[in-house]
């Protein structure tokens, strides 16, 4: 009876795991010409255990910064948020700081609907997703820091 109970608990824990985070990295970068700016690339590699029909990644907070996100499959540049169970997908954010703003930037492009995280979190980031239409969150405890990238 105990063996059956342990197996049932293990099976239920496995069912709640909708995806596996393989890696979360960050890489600071600097532009090579004056005024090019600087920033940090954040990249999260995920293997979903369900398809994009019922699992959608859409928002992330890094520190106090809000980012709208989309996913793309490894090796493909198209960000279409479509994936199948077992695909390797990537979320990539370029948290960029412009030293000198571009003169053609429209104010409307900079509007962000929602900026505050839905709750306090202790990790470095909070990833928001919907599973079967219900909003859920997972903390990214720590990003592995990659070597800084200096563009020529």
31-57 tens-digit pLDDT = 888 778 899 999 999 999 999 999 999
- CA dist 25 and 142 (Å) reads 8
Has residue 120 got a pLDDT over 70? yes
Q: How many CB atoms lie within 10 A of CB 104?
A: 5
Q: How many CB atoms lie within 10 A of CB 4?
A: 8
Instruction: Sort 110 into a burial class: Cβ within 10 Å, 0-12 / 13-18 / 19+.
Output: exposed
- CA dist 10 and 13 (Å) reads 5
3-22 tens-digit pLDDT = 433 333 443 444 458 999 99
Has residue 144 got a pLDDT over 60? yes
Tell me whether strands 71-73 and 89-97 are parallel, antiparallel or unpaired. Answer: antiparallel
Question: For residue 52, what is the DSSP state?
Answer: T
């Amino acid at each position: 009876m105990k063996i059956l109970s342990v197996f049932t608990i293990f099976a239920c824990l496995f069912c709640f795991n909708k995806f596996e985070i393989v890696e979360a990295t960050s890489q600071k970068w600097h532009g090579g010409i004056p005024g090019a700016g600087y920033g940090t690339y954040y990249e999260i590699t995920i293997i979903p255990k369900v398809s994009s029909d019922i699992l959608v990644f859409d928002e992330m907070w890094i520190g106090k910064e809000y980012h709208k996100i989309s996913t793309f499959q490894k090796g493909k540049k198209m960000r279409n948020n479509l994936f199948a169970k077992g695909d390797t997908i990537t979320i990539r954010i370029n948290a960029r700081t412009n030293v000198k703003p571009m003169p053609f930037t429209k104010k409307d492009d900079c509007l962000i609907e929602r900026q505050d995280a839905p709750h306090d979190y202790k990790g470095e980031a909070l990833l928001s997703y919907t599973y079967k239409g219900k909003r859920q969150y997972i903390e990214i405890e720590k990003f592995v820091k990659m070597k800084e990238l200096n563009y020529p």
